[in-house]
Amino acid sequence: MSQIETFYDVMRRQGITRRSFMKYCSLTAAALGLGPSFVPKIAHAMETKPRTPVIWVHGLECTCCSESFIRSAHPLAKDVVLSMISLDYDDTLMAAAGHAAEAAFEDTIAKYKGNYILAVEGNPPLNEDGMFCITGGKPFVEKLRHAAKDAKAIISWGACASYGCVQAAAPNPTQATPVHKVITDKPIIKVPGCPPIAEVMTGVITYMLTFDRMPELDRQGRPAMFYSQRIHDKCYRRPHFDAGQFVEQWDDDAARKGYCLYKMGCKGPTTYNACSTVRWNEGVSFPIQSGHGCIGCSEDGFWDQNGFYERVTGIKQFGIEATADQIGFATTAVVGGAVAVHAAASALKRAQKKNEEA
Amino acid sequence: MSDTPRLVVGPFNRVEGDLEVQLDLADGKVVSAQVNAPLYRGFERMLEGRAPSDALTLTPRICGICSISQSAAAARALAAATGVMPTPQGAAMAALIHAVENASDHLFHFNLFFMPDFTRPCYAGRGWYERAVDRFAAINGAAGRAAIAARTDLMHILGLMAGKWPHTLALQPGGVTRAPGPRDKLRIETALRQFRKYLERDVFGGALEDFCALDSPAALMGWTGGDVGLFLEIAADTDLAAMGRGAGRYLSFGAYELAEGHGFAPGLWRAGRRGPVDQAAIIEDPSHAWMLGGAAHPFKGQTTPDETMRETAYTWCKAPRLGGEPVEVGALARQIVDGHPLAVALAGGGVLARVAGRLLELARTQILMEHWAREIDTEAVFMRTAALPETASGAGLVEAARGALGHWVRIEGGKIASYQIIAPTTWNFSPRDAQGVPGPLETALVGAPVAEGEDTPVAVQHIVRSFDPCMVCTVH
């Protein structure tokens, strides 16, 4: 077997200039929240280390993760990452079809045994021996197990692979099952969201390709760099929450003024994701900015929480500085009334901060 | 002569979802085809017993490519059940949001899903081959890259108006959650101007209005500009016009329903004439699907998988029929039913007609979107609310990029009692019905040439992709 080429070799072959390569390294460092001193380290790693092959497979899903991924705002990262992935195997975007595609899949597994990253979009349905999702004449769960056996690590893209997502909604007709419940002997990183934000996807995969290890994970297995803050904490409508200014109806004056959507069922207070900072479609907006509450699509079980328009309660239970690790996934319920407590807590926190600064 | 009487083609790549086609061959031609949709998730079952508004969040997640179409159909079904239609400007913004997705889908289909088949080695040596590889090679083709970039920019409109894409939440029964301000209007118009520039430079190589003015297949084949010109050159050389011809029956529920009428009119094209759509004559027939129950109108239908996967069936997809007949849906169907002279002249056509219908619609949709953007009244009301009744039913009939999409909801005791969906590819990739009549793709594949030793016959690839299938929507 010939030596596997480096990332830099791949990029050069794709026609990427040295200047663009260095730019890619600094953008990567910035995206991952690393300082400028990391830029040469990233460059060195990319120049010397053999590239990490990626196999990207699709189970029960809707391809929204791929759709999100290819629209990353960071075109260079997307091009580079995409070109590296496409060298190996991807169900949706690759050129080969039919038997040639299946052959490419087996070749990649054999050639990079123990060295490749398996990226999984969607999940396997286990009912009826997996017959609800058949690819290449075999249940997807078999393909998944087969590909996972020799993988170095697994990325669970999106809510489907991470948690089951909507096809696992009650009564879960096909017994759609998240990846980590089928594959239990490999390191798995969950990148939830329906879909995940494009820049989060490129950020995670770039980190893993560059440093050849998983980024720091929270207790639920999500990369802490993107899932450590609540939507609510960085929401541009937060001042209206603190001031008690709420939208009560879709078409009221408060809606037009952009008041807080908490009473319309916004799950921002219980959802850990980067929507309110990174935003969507190249940083243009995110659901709350378009006037609809967050549905908490990066949290486990978001699809079965008693209605997407019921307001969340129990915000006070989180404490003021709780993190995703401390509370895990908080269930939402239909009670209402905790908002005042939380607003008061926020005011208190502001006052404390002022004192500290003084 | 082929010595393989039967060939199973699949999985298909560059197709949304999973698909398998079983072909019976004789004398180097397909004599019979069976289409298998091998993926089932059970959305209709999950919706039963839930709050009706849950449909707005769950149904878009049937599909990451046409999620807004599913949103639009769910919103319309709930609006019909409530008896409250969106405000005029709310409907116009919903139409704009929906049109952006449909235009994006057409663009992607052409550049990333359909054209790359012409870069297969079997075409090496043709006069256009090098140019096709340069433009359309999978992943690396210049046209594909430009299309991804152009679509990303166009989708800023979805960022602005819909919050995020895929899977927006902005479309509601009474309109849209976001009231655009003057700044939004300006940004939308700018994004559309850029998209037109890209379309006229790369895709069409000429003014969109000139392309829309083409009124006959001869005039169409004379178009030489842009990637469309390259496609037409290839189409003439490979005789795509004769490949995979349709039965000449086309259905459109009508696209972009606004206060002043539809953007593209509804109707049924049959025997060379346009007539109205008899909604009561729609049934789904599960005779060849691994589903239980008899043929029924979607208000009465059920989705109960046959866990024995009986031998007489071959797919998870039920067979929808209108007045007992299969119908073809999609951009070509919409343009024929809308009465565009070029599309009407292409009625009954094959691969060329379907792809040309899509390109024609791409050009016409851009012009519609520009119109709606110009007419945005930032002072208007974009949403009205109404309580959902305890007991009601409603149908949401819209046009997704790939064709007619219907949601039929029955509400009892304030909860969803039944929810049935017929997606565009359910129509096009329908299996046989109880009478043994094959679906549109199964019919179109008959006669497709299969060369000796071809295990992924290129003609079959062209015909399948000319429908732009969306398999995850098909069975859901």
Who among B39, B65, B307 is closest to A128 (CB)? B307
Place of tokens 């040439």: B449
Flag whether pLDDT at A185 surpasses 90. Answer: yes
Q: Which residue of B has its CA nearest to A90?
A: B13
User: What is the residue-wise DSSP string for B148-201?
Assistant: HHHHHHHTHHHHHHHSSSSS---EETTEES----HHHHHHHHHHHHHHHHHIII
Burial class (CB in 10 A: 0-12, 13-18, 19+), B469: buried
Question: Poorest-confidence range of B229-233, B405-409, B453-457?
Answer: B453-457
φ and ψ at residue B370, rounded to 5 degrees = -60, -40
CA–CA dist A24, A161 (Å, integer): 29
Q: Give A89 or B248, the one with higher predicted confidence.
A: B248
Smallest CA–CA distance, residue B265 to chain A, in Å, is 29
- For residues B150, B156, B158, B162, the Cα torsion angle rounded to the nearest 10 degrees is 170
Q: Which residue of B has its CA nearest to A175?
A: B41
| No. of helices (H) and no. of strands (E), chain B | 18, 15
Over residues A292-309, the mean pLDDT reads 89
Q: Give B375 or A334, the one with higher predicted confidence.
A: B375
CB count within 10 Å of CB A238 equals 18
Contact call for A281 and B165, based on CB within 8 A: yes
Smallest CA–CA distance, residue B307 to chain A, in Å, is 7
Flag whether pLDDT at A245 surpasses 90. Answer: yes
Range among A166-170, A317-321, B182-186, B454-458 with highest mean pLDDT value: B182-186
Question: For chain B, what is the domain count?
Answer: 1
- Chain B neighbors of A70, CB-CB under 8 A: 148
CA–CA dist A118, A153 (Å, integer): 6
CA angle B221, B222, B227 (to 5 degrees): 75
The pLDDT value given to residue B473? 82
CA–CA dist A313, A330 (Å, integer): 10
Q: Is B94 an interface residue toward A (CB < 8 Å)?
A: no
Flag whether pLDDT at A355 surpasses 90. Answer: no
The pLDDT value given to residue A71? 66
CA–CA dist A148, B155 (Å, integer): 35
Helix axes A198-211, A18-31, angle to 10 degrees: 110
Q: Band the pLDDT of A344: cuts 50, 70, 90.
A: very low
Smallest CA–CA distance, residue B131 to chain A, in Å, is 17
Flag whether pLDDT at A12 surpasses 80. Answer: no
Q: Buried (b) or exposed (e) across B250-270, using 16+ Cβ within 10 A?
A: bbbbbbbbeeeebbbebbbbb
Q: Is the dihedral of CA A127, A129, A130, A131 positive or negative?
A: negative
Question: Poorest-confidence range of A103-112, A347-356, B75-84, B123-132?
Answer: A347-356
Q: Give A36 or A159, the one with higher predicted confidence.
A: A159
Q: Which of A114, A122, A116, A67 is nearest to A87 (CA)?
A: A116
The pLDDT value given to residue A262? 94
Beta-ladder partners of B392: B411
B201-208: long-range pairs with CB below 8 Å, 24+: B201/B226, B202/B143, B202/B146, B202/B147, B202/B150, B202/B226, B202/B227, B203/B107, B203/B110, B203/B227, B203/B228, B203/B359, B203/B362, B204/B228, B204/B359, B204/B363, B205/B229, B208/B363, B208/B366, B208/B367
CA–CA dist B87, A48 (Å, integer): 60
| Strand residue runs (E) in B236-308 | 250-252, 255-258, 261-264, 267-270, 273-275, 282-285
Flag whether pLDDT at A333 surpasses 60. Answer: no
Contact call for B148 and A70, based on CB within 8 A: yes
- Chain A neighbors of B52, CB-CB under 8 A: none
Flag whether pLDDT at A329 surpasses 60. Answer: no
**pTM confidence score:** 0.87
CA–CA dist B418, B420 (Å, integer): 7
Q: Is B247 an interface residue toward A (CB < 8 Å)?
A: no
Over residues B28-49, the mean pLDDT reads 91
Written as one letter, the residue type at B323 is G
Q: Is B304 an interface residue toward A (CB < 8 Å)?
A: no
- Contact predicate A225/A270, CB 8 Å: no
Q: Band the pLDDT of B173: cuts 50, 70, 90.
A: very high
Tokens of A3: 């030596």
Smallest CA–CA distance, residue A275 to chain B, in Å, is 10
- Chain B neighbors of A66, CB-CB under 8 A: 64
Contact call for A92 and B14, based on CB within 8 A: yes
CB count within 10 Å of CB B307 equals 11
The pLDDT value given to residue A336? 37
Q: Which of B440, B424, B433 is nearest to B324 (CA)?
A: B433
A310 Cβ neighbours under 8 A, 6+ residues apart:
A265, A332, A334
Over residues B120-149, the mean pLDDT reads 90
Per-residue pLDDT tens for A59-116? 887 778 877 777 665 555 556 566 555 555 565 555 556 667 778 788 888 988 998 8
- Chain A neighbors of B64, CB-CB under 8 A: 61-68, 195
- Contact predicate A243/A202, CB 8 Å: no
Residue B411 in any domain: the answer is yes
Top residue of B14, B41, B118 to mutate, by most chain A CBs within 10 Å, is B41
Over residues B167-173, the mean pLDDT reads 91
Tokens of B141: 């083709």
Q: Give A309 or B298, the one with higher predicted confidence.
A: B298
Residue B331 in any domain: the answer is yes
Per-residue pLDDT tens for A142-151? 999 999 999 9
User: What is the residue-wise DSSP string for B114-129?
Assistant: IGGGGGSGGGTTSTTH
Contact call for B164 and A281, based on CB within 8 A: yes
* Rg for chain B, CA atoms, rounded: 21
Who among B10, B158, B165 is closest to A98 (CB)? B10
Contact call for A133 and B40, based on CB within 8 A: yes
Contact call for A256 and B51, based on CB within 8 A: no
Tell me if the bond preceding B449 is cis, omega within 30° of 0: no
The pLDDT value given to residue B411? 97
Tokens of A192: 């939830």
Top residue of B61, B136, B383 to mutate, by most chain A CBs within 10 Å, is B61
Q: Is B54 an interface residue toward A (CB < 8 Å)?
A: yes
Contact call for A291 and B149, based on CB within 8 A: no
Residue B75 in any domain: the answer is yes
Q: Band the pLDDT of B358: cuts 50, 70, 90.
A: very high
Give the number of residues written for chain A: 358
Q: Is B17 an interface residue toward A (CB < 8 Å)?
A: yes
The pLDDT value given to residue A9? 81
* Domains of chain A, each with CATH number or no CATH: 7-227 (3.40.50.700), 231-357 (4.10.480.10)
Contact call for B155 and A63, based on CB within 8 A: no
- Chain B neighbors of A309, CB-CB under 8 A: 51, 53
Residue B156's domain is classified under what CATH number? 1.10.645.10
Tell me the pLDDT of chain B averaged across its residues.
93
Q: Give A102 or B161, the one with higher predicted confidence.
A: B161
The pLDDT value given to residue B380? 93
Per-residue pLDDT tens for B69-105? 999 999 999 999 999 899 999 999 999 999 999 999 9
Smallest CA–CA distance, residue A154 to chain B, in Å, is 21
Q: Band the pLDDT of A332: cuts 50, 70, 90.
A: very low
Flag whether pLDDT at A243 surpasses 60. Answer: yes
Q: Is B41 an interface residue toward A (CB < 8 Å)?
A: yes
- Contact predicate A240/A107, CB 8 Å: no
Q: Which residue of A has its CA nearest to B141?
A: A95
Instruction: Say how many Å lie between the first and final Cα of chain A, rounded.
Output: 66
Place of tokens 């002569």: B1
Per-residue pLDDT tens for B3-22? 557 888 876 766 666 788 99
- Chain B neighbors of A171, CB-CB under 8 A: 45-46
Per-residue pLDDT tens for A307-318? 788 877 655 434
- Chain A neighbors of B168, CB-CB under 8 A: 287, 290
Over residues B445-454, the mean pLDDT reads 91
Per-residue pLDDT tens for A194-220? 999 988 888 888 788 777 788 899 989
The pLDDT value given to residue A83? 57
Smallest CA–CA distance, residue A356 to chain B, in Å, is 37
Q: Give A128 or B75, the one with higher predicted confidence.
A: B75
Count of pairs with CB atoms under 8 A, one residue in A, one in B: 227
Top residue of A292, A294, A305 to mutate, by most chain B CBs within 10 Å, is A292
Question: Poorest-confidence range of A17-31, A113-127, B53-67, B339-353?
Answer: A17-31
Tokens of B463: 């015909």
- Contact predicate B463/B243, CB 8 Å: yes
The pLDDT value given to residue A82? 60
Give the H/E segment covering residue B73: helix B67-82
* pLDDT cut 90: percent of chain A above it: 34
CA–CA dist B384, B93 (Å, integer): 14
- Contact predicate A1/A113, CB 8 Å: no
Per-residue pLDDT tens for A254-294? 998 999 999 999 999 999 999 998 888 878 889 999 999 99
C-alpha separations of A177 from A61, A174, A278, A281, B184 in Å: 12, 9, 29, 29, 41
Domain containing B296 equals 6-475
Residue B1 in any domain: the answer is no
Tokens of A169: 């909604």
Smallest CA–CA distance, residue A107 to chain B, in Å, is 17
Q: Is B116 an interface residue toward A (CB < 8 Å)?
A: yes
